[in-house]
Amino acid sequence: MTLKESPGASPVTGRSDRRAGTSPRRRSGRPGAGTLATFIAPGLMLFLLFVIVPVLFAAYVAFFRWNGLGGVPTDFVGLENFRNLLQDEVFLGDLWRLGLIVVLSLAVQLPLSFGLAMLLHQRFPGRTAFRLLFFVPYVLTEAVTAVLFRLVLSPNRGFADSLLATVGIDTHIGWLSDRNIVMFVIFGILTWKFFGFHMILFLAGRQNIPDELYEAAAIDGATGAQAFRSITLPLMGPTVRMIVFLSIIGSVQLFDLVYVLTGGGPFHASETLAITMYEQGFQRNQIGYASALSIAMFLISLVFALLYQRFVLNRDLQGSLTNAGGNR
């Protein structure tokens, strides 16, 4: 390994440290390859063993029929698992439900969080308290939240039913057992859990817009609505794009909350990709098939991330993936 001083300017932050510009020179105390290796080795071993190897192993097993017993898989079946996947109504249903959650999030949840962030950006007494409070659901563990909502929504005059009865709505809804509404109930709970997080991110983005822009607009005679349309919306663009990305990637991986809430039921009506994978892999020991599903999940995230980076997060935003969303 050849060693030289690290170049000074950081392409990620755009901040340059003060060595930038001075010609690289060698230091007397520079470490040898052995020293560097001892710094890197523990983390690298951990990473290879528990991240890279499992992912590669999943990709390999996806081409076999395997029940997980007896050392290594031997029954090579080529693309059969993937072909079966495309004819599996549960898997196709998972994709449809993923689409539903994404559409609802973009159409309802994110605009709601955005609106609240705009409200809480105003100065008024008590705003810090509201801000703290709205973030609380995000702090709670998903599995615990799910148990809580199972009780809130319990059938036979549970809490939600009693609450609605006081305003005269007589519900005998099986909140979590009616296959026609269960996804919307889950979406409501997801909104409860995550709107505060998105709100805080929007708020951070909004706070990064300098007040001078609004002052200048006011001097030019712009109304509040005009300022919102011409300053707030465009300058919130990077934050919005980032939150949309996070929200969609999060939806692909949805597991804890739904699994504890409904187990994917009734009759797969609320199942997600990760739940199907879990059922196939851990309940039915279809390790090969479940691995193919994992790989499909990975490819969905990857293709989405690449397309999103390419077409939505344009070049002018490069680096913002590793920079707080509001940095410009």
Q: Which of the residues 240 through 269 are near another protein (CB under 8 A)?
A: 242, 246, 249, 252-253, 255-256, 259-260
Measured from the CB of residue 87, what is the shortest distance to another protein in angstroms? 21
Residues 126-185 that bind another protein (CB under 8 A): 126-127, 130, 132-144, 146-152, 154, 157-159, 162-163, 166
Q: How far is the CB of 232 from another protein (least distance, A)?
A: 11
216 binds another protein (CB under 8 A): no
Tell me if 214 contacts another protein by CB under 8 A: yes
Sequence-ordered list of residues with C-beta below 8 angstroms from that of 46, at least 6 positions apart, any chain: none
Examine residue 14 and tell whether it contacts another protein (CB under 8 A): no
**Sequence letter at residue 143:** A
Question: What is the smallest separation between the CB atom of 119 and another protein, expressed in angstroms?
Answer: 5
| Strand, helix or coil for residue 16 | strand
Please name which of 134, 136, 129 lies closest in space to residue 117, comparing C-alpha atoms: 134
Contact present, 156 and 175 (Cβ < 8 Å): no
Cα–Cα distance, 9 to 60 (Å, whole number): 41
Query: Based on CB atoms, which residue is closest to another protein, 125 or 180?
Result: 125
63: contact with another protein by CB under 8 A? no
Q: Could you give the angle at the alpha carbon of 234 between the alpha carbons of 229 and 236, nearest 5°?
A: 110
Least CB distance to another protein at residue 240 (A): 12
Side-chain-facing half-sphere of 169: CA atoms under 13 Å: 9
Residue 223 CB, nearest distance to another protein (Å)? Answer: 7
CA distance 37 to 44: 10
We find the least distance from the C-beta atom of residue 183 to another protein, in angstroms, to be: 19
* Residue entry with tokens 């996804």: 183
**What does the block give as tokens for 246?**
């996070």
Strand partners, 76: 64
Total residue length of the chain: 328
Minimum Å gap between C-beta 15 and another protein is 6
Pick the closest to residue 325 from 195, 211, 196, 202 (CA basis): 202
CB closer to another protein out of 29 and 180: 29
Identity of the residue, 53 or 107, whose beta carbon is nearer to another protein in the bound complex? 53
Among residues 180 and 258, whose Cβ is nearest to another protein?
258
Is the Cβ of residue 180 or residue 254 nearer to another protein in the bound state? 254
| Chain residues 288-307 in contact with another protein, contact rule CB under 8 A | 290-291, 294-295, 297-298, 301-302, 305
Segment holding 64, helix H or strand E: strand 64-65
Least distance from another protein to the Cβ atom of residue 80, Å: 18
> Could you tell me which residues come within 8 angstroms of residue 256 by beta carbon, excluding any fewer than 6 positions away?
142, 143, 146
One of 105, 175, 321, 328 touching another protein (CB under 8 A): 321
Pick out residues in 66-95 that bind another protein (CB under 8 A). Answer: 68
Nearer to another protein, 115 or 180 (CB): 115
Residues numbered 187 to 206 that lie near another protein (CB under 8 A) are: 192, 196-197, 200-201, 204
The binder of another protein chosen from 15, 26, 172, 315 (CB under 8 A)? 15
CB-neighbour burial class of residue 24 (10 A; exposed 0-12, middle 13-18, buried 19+): exposed
Q: 65: which strand partners?
A: 75
Site for another protein in 96-125 (CB under 8 A): 115-116, 119-120, 122, 124
CB of 233 to another protein, least distance (A): 15
Q: Measure the CA–CA gap between 248 and 303, rounded to whole angstroms.
A: 12
